Amino acid sequence: MLIVLSTPTFDPDGHIELQATDDFNVGPTRRRMNRIATIDGGAVFNDFGVSEADRTIDVTWAATSAATDAAVLRLVQTYAKIIVATPGGVFLAAPDTFTPGATESTLTLQVAEKLSA
């Protein structure tokens, strides 16, 4: 599956296409809620809905090119937020962890917001 990383501002080297492996993950959708036990044995729930900002995107791809890993490393080191296009939508996300590897490389992104469906 094709994943595209891009910078939010113009950068001639700020566009990367990654062929993600099958374990690509946009993360679960969770509700912002907590449960508080009450004295009578029941519970009270504080429910604040769902936010895309609670999701984490994990991208893994075959490390076939040192140039690709270098380009991803540059984005992670240079930009606080990048645009990530996935089959599930386009997201603005903060790069969290980039792990280059001999056979596979991994990038973890914290979603800030969903830009489109």
- In order of start, what are the domains of the chain with their CATH numbers? 2-116 (2.40.30)
Show pLDDT as tens, one digit a residue, over the chain (117 residues).
899 999 999 999 899 999 888 777 777 788 889 999 999 999 999 998 888 888 899 999 998 889 999 999 999 999 999 999 998 899 999 999 999 999 999 999 999 999 986
Model pTM? 0.81
- β-pairing, 15-19 vs 82-86, is unpaired
- β-pairing, 31-37 vs 15-19, is unpaired
**Distance (Å, rounded) from C-alpha 3 to C-alpha 90?**
10
